[in-house]
Amino acid sequence: MFNESSSLGSDVADRRNKHVSFKASNKSHTNDFSNNYIHSGSLPQKHVTNIENSVQGYPKLQKLFELKDRQIAQYITTPFGCRVDIDQMVPTLNHWIQNEKLTFDVVMIGCLTDNQFIYPLLTQLALDRLVSKPGFLFIWASAHKVNELNRLMNNEGWAKKFRRSEELVFVPIDKNSPFYPGLDQDDHSLIEKMQWHCWMCITGTVRRSTDGHLIHCNVDTDLSIETQQTRDGAVPSHLYRVAENFSTSTRRLHIIPARTGIEKPVRLRPGWVIMSPDIILDNFAPKRYKSEIAKIGNCIPMNNQVESLRPKSPIQKV
Amino acid sequence: MVNFELIEFLIGNHQELTSVPLSGQLRDVFALFLIDQNTQLGAKYAKMHYQEFLKDLLEINELAPNSSHFRDESFVSVDDERVEFIDLCALKILYDVCKQDSRKFKRTLKGPRGQQRQSQQDLSVLDRLIAALSYDSSKVCPELPSRHRLLQRLEETLAQKPASVQLGKERAHMTVPQSEFIPICKSEKHAHILSTSVNTSNNRIISIQWSKISKFENENNEFNHCLQTHIHYVPNVNAHTERSLGDCSYLDTCHKLNTCRYVHYLQYIPEFLKEKIAEETKLVNKRINQQKRIPFYTLGNCCADISKSLLPPQWIRCDVRKFDFSCLGKFSAVIADPAWNIHMNLPYGTCNDIELLGLPMEQLQDEGILFLWVTGRAIDLGKESLEKWGYRVVNEISWIKTNQLGRTIVTGRTGHWLNHSKEHLLVGLKGNPQWLNKQIDSDVIVSTTRETSRKPDELYGMIERLVGRHARKLEIFGRDHNKRSGWVTIGNQVTGTCIRELEVKKRYDNFITS
């Protein structure tokens, strides 16, 4: 049916190509992408028009992203990998805390894969000693798992230390994506699951209006859609980008308590220490890391151009 | 009679078969052997059964004494079905003998293997499972080691949807009326060409400079075709517009269109394209309407699905907090879009939220689904409320908010720490309803923003597919634009009251007079 009509359409178009009337229709049109999915199988998110360049149309924001990218790239440590079996993660991290006196300002836990051992990690680890204050915690998991973590995070001890601040979502572009949460579909699921969730938590005190040297608010959004370039590993760069753009800190740690296998390698990221049983390089040395941090400083310094471009809270009248 | 391929297989894989994780489990060895055979062209043993496999294995062991050492050759328990050691030397000798004596080997193969086959009824569970796992070997890359092939097959099998889902999808495809669809052009180049060749005035497209367009058309000939098949957006340039500033954050919803210096856009669709799509969709829907009359799959539908006409919209203006929910009856699906009153600085639970938690929601459904819109800190409170009301959170839908140009909202300090490009809708399930058509839609809605807090209409279509068109559906905290056929809308912002179900009307009148 569709093929017939579309070929008919192009015939008509060819015939009157010379004097086809391109008169604009005066009726406006809106698409129903959910209805279209039922009939064509093309997922709604595929029709978002700024997937590849999210700030398309906003030159100021584009400039801001470029500047921040450049600045972040200036103040980075060597990409570090730390290959540790899942059951050795907590002892290793405890060793870092107690013996090496290491702390991080940005800690990301989990990636876009099922079978993550997040709960045991969160309950066994002295997370409040690993994350400095103020510090930022990002926990990525399937929507189902994030939901399960609710109980832990509502527990008073936890909620006092880490305030849940934003819920982030990552959406793969189609079902062939390596990030399609296929195993998350269970019999109870009423609607096909297409997303990964992340809790962003803040510990310590930061104020959006006055702590511009620590955080840049409202630069990124709480939604990432998979792009063409991000298919080559277990962690799409969006996940790192959001954290890097938000916090100006240079001390960043990513813990992946899951086996991701050889099809989805865990790659290194400049400026991050990545702990995973499947990281491709095992080069982390606390001493070297500390000396590098000492050289570049704990924070990316303020930059006037970035300051003038980034969204800020309106100045309160006294 | 000797299974030559099996000898070959044992020689090639003897180490992997006896070591972890297989540890010589014969059933796994058998599965691997079958997969191995399946990937080879013209394999003789592709449809072998486990008992035959065991027999062949024992035969080989007899010919090359002690070439395989089993835990217990009588195979009394499953745990005994284990080969602990494979003697490579003995197997190789047997292999060489067989190869040299290929004539004899061939002759033995003419034996009545087929007659030994067990009948279909005698198939063991394992054989049936293997058959269920059987797949098209051409799709699998033969270079992959066998454990990867097995994994791949396992993943394919797990990804397989139950027939109810497949049939439900098919039925939705065949019976849900299609809405007019025109794709949006994503090419920045096309947008640029149009921005230099379209003249606008008074917020309307006046003319298009064809000389420029045909020049571009000569360079890349898909442009013309794209114009005829896609929606394009052309900048609406006025005297006060400054292009270098970029796009307006509000675009078509901007209130200061006559003074705003940022760029706004006009939608451009050729009239003939709009007409063509309308006509095509009308034809398709005519066919769909006819298909509806063929009851090919009726699970989850009500019995008079076709002949029954849809109940017109019903609504009740009321203070939801004081309303007696019991006069409404029971519903299959409920939407609630409460005005959460959570202040960022408070832990949670201002007066309104406590009132909301106190709503007698348990009266509305014996079993069914509840959709709850939540934002920010209410995500948490929403999940708690659902559990308190007797629901399990089974899904979370994200509404990706887009603007006029189909782009996500990225500006405007819409959130406290990050900008908000999406909103959350919790899906709670009560009981275990058998009448749901599961997993037809995806949990991502992409739709443009409209008036403040107005939610996308796509949700109604999704719910109607999930619970059926004729199921009773309720929207709480609705407004006039939420009225819809098949739905009851209640809230203090709807105008007037209109009830068509007599029983509800009677109960409502009683409630009012009491």
Return the pLDDT at B199.
Answer: 85
Mean pLDDT of B445-455: 93
Return the pLDDT at B145.
Answer: 63
The confidence band for B139, taking pLDDT boundaries of 50, 70 and 90, is low
Highest-confidence segment of A150-159, B385-394, B409-418 = B385-394
Beta strands in B305-391 (DSSP E): 314-317, 333-336, 368-374
CB-CB under 8 Å, A47 with B184: yes
Q: Considering its fold, how many domains does chain A have in total?
A: 1
The confidence band for B349, taking pLDDT boundaries of 50, 70 and 90, is very low
| Residue B134 to residue B262: CA distance in whole angstroms | 60
Q: Is the pLDDT of residue A117 over 80?
A: yes
CB-CB under 8 Å, B395 with A189: yes
Return the pLDDT at B40.
Answer: 73
> Is there a domain that residue A111 lies in?
yes
B454: chain A residues, CB-CB within 8 Å: none
Three-class SS state of A35? helix
User: Which residue in A72, A102, A108, A70 sits closest to A244, CA to CA?
Assistant: A72
User: Which residue in B309, B171, B27, B185 sits closest to A47, CA to CA?
Assistant: B185
Q: Is the pLDDT of residue B108 over 50?
A: no
Return the pLDDT at A299.
Answer: 94
> Is there a domain that residue A271 lies in?
yes
Among residues of chain A, what percentage have pLDDT more than 70?
Answer: 92
User: Which residue in B207, B321, B200, B343 sits closest to B263, CA to CA?
Assistant: B200
Interface test with A, best of B408, B416, B437 (most A CBs within 10 A): B408
User: A136 - beta bridge partners?
Assistant: A106, A202
> Is there a domain that residue A15 lies in?
no
Three-class SS state of B450? coil
Burial class (CB in 10 A: 0-12, 13-18, 19+), B293: exposed
Return the pLDDT at B136.
Answer: 52
CB-CB under 8 Å, B393 with A13: no
CB-CB under 8 Å, B273 with A25: yes
Q: Is the pLDDT of residue B318 over 90?
A: yes
Q: Is the pLDDT of residue B350 over 70?
A: no
B218-254 in b/e burial notation, b at 16+ Cβ within 10 A?
eeeeebbebbbbbbbbbbbbbeeeeeeebbbbbbbee
CB-CB under 8 Å, A217 with B184: no
ipTM of the complex: 0.91
Interface contacts (A, B; CB < 8 Å): 258
Return the pLDDT at B202.
Answer: 80
> Is there a domain that residue A209 lies in?
yes
**pTM of this structure:** 0.81
Find the residue in A nearest to B169 (Cα).
Answer: A38
SS3 letters across B119-149: CHHHCCHHHHHHHHHCCCHHHCCCCCCHHHH
**Higher pLDDT, residue B284 or B31:** B284
| Residue A78 to residue B338: CA distance in whole angstroms | 49
Nearest by CB to A188, which of B224, B416, B429? B429
Beta pairing, strands B422-430 & B368-374: antiparallel
How close A80 comes to chain B (CA, Å)?
28
Task: Please count the other Cβ atoms lying within 10 Å of the Cβ belonging to residue B143.
Answer: 8
Looking at residue A302, which CATH number applies to its domain? 3.40.50.150
Q: Is the pLDDT of residue B112 over 50?
A: no
Return the pLDDT at B130.
Answer: 66
Amino acid found at B491 = G
Return the pLDDT at B293.
Answer: 77
Q: Is the pLDDT of residue B50 over 70?
A: yes
Task: Please count the other Cβ atoms lying within 10 Å of the Cβ belonging to residue B365.
Answer: 23
| Residue B465 to residue B239: CA distance in whole angstroms | 48
- Of the listed ranges A155-164, B58-67, B75-84, B141-150, the least confidently predicted one is B141-150
Mean pLDDT of B274-279: 95
Return the pLDDT at A5.
Answer: 39
Return the pLDDT at B405.
Answer: 95
User: Which residue in A292, A315, A304, A313 sits closest to A67, CA to CA?
Assistant: A304
Range of the domain at A80: 59-309
How close B380 comes to chain A (CA, Å)?
8
Return the pLDDT at A198.
Answer: 95
Instruction: Answer whether A256's CB lies under 8 Å from A269's CB.
Output: no
| Residue A145 to residue B340: CA distance in whole angstroms | 25
- Of the listed ranges A116-120, B93-97, B354-358, B454-458, the least confidently predicted one is B354-358
The confidence band for B123, taking pLDDT boundaries of 50, 70 and 90, is low
Task: Copy the structure tokens of residue B240.
Answer: 């006060």
Q: Is the pLDDT of residue B377 over 50?
A: yes
Instruction: Answer whether A207's CB lies under 8 Å from B344's CB.
Output: no
H or E element in which residue B386 lies: helix B378-388
Three-class SS state of A6? helix
Interface test with B, best of A1, A34, A201 (most B CBs within 10 A): A34
Q: Is the pLDDT of residue B203 over 50?
A: yes
Q: Where in chain B are all domains bearing CATH 3.40.50.150?
A: 300-513
Return the pLDDT at B144.
Answer: 61
How close B421 comes to chain A (CA, Å)?
6
- Of the listed ranges A87-96, B291-300, B354-363, B458-467, the least confidently predicted one is B291-300
Give just the sign of the alpha carbon dihedral A91, A96, A98, A102. negative
User: Which residue in B371, B358, B298, B304 sits closest to B331, CA to CA?
Assistant: B371
Highest-confidence segment of A68-77, B191-200, B210-219, B412-421 = A68-77
Task: Copy the structure tokens of residue B63.
Answer: 């010919």
Return the pLDDT at A112.
Answer: 92
Give just the sign of the alpha carbon dihedral B30, B35, B39, B43. positive
Find the residue in B nearest to A149 (Cα).
Answer: B380
**Higher pLDDT, residue A70 or A232:** A70
- Of the listed ranges A46-50, B206-210, B292-296, the least confidently predicted one is B292-296
Mean pLDDT of B242-265: 92
Q: How many helices (H) and strands (E) does chain A have?
A: 11, 8
CB-CB under 8 Å, A223 with B438: no
The confidence band for B297, taking pLDDT boundaries of 50, 70 and 90, is confident
Return the pLDDT at A156.
Answer: 77
Q: Is the pLDDT of residue A90 over 60?
A: yes
Non-local (6+) Cβ contacts of B331 within 8 A are B364, B365, B368, B471, B472, B473, B474, B488
pLDDT digits (tens, 9 = 90+) for A172-184: 999 888 898 876 6
SS3 letters across B76-123: CCHHHCEEEEECHHHHHHHHHHHHHCHHHHHHHHCCCHHHHCCCHHHC
pLDDT digits (tens, 9 = 90+) for A1-45: 344 334 444 444 444 455 567 888 888 999 999 999 999 999 999
CB-CB under 8 Å, A5 with B406: no
Return the pLDDT at B42.
Answer: 66
Average pLDDT, chain A: 89
pLDDT digits (tens, 9 = 90+) for A201-251: 999 999 988 899 999 999 999 999 999 877 678 899 999 999 999 999 999
Count CA atoms closer than 13 A to B63's CA, side-chain side.
19
Mean pLDDT of B15-20: 82
Nearest by CB to B418, which of A12, A44, A222? A222
H or E element in which residue B271 lies: helix B271-291
Q: Is the pLDDT of residue B454 over 60?
A: yes
Q: Is the pLDDT of residue B22 over 90?
A: no
> Is there a domain that residue A23 lies in?
no
Q: Is the pLDDT of residue B114 over 50?
A: no
How close A272 comes to chain B (CA, Å)?
21
For residue B177, is the peptide bond before it cis, meaning its omega torsion is within 30 degrees of 0?
no
pLDDT digits (tens, 9 = 90+) for A247-264: 999 999 999 999 987 778
Q: Does domain B300-513 have CATH number 3.40.50.720?
A: no
Return the pLDDT at B80.
Answer: 74
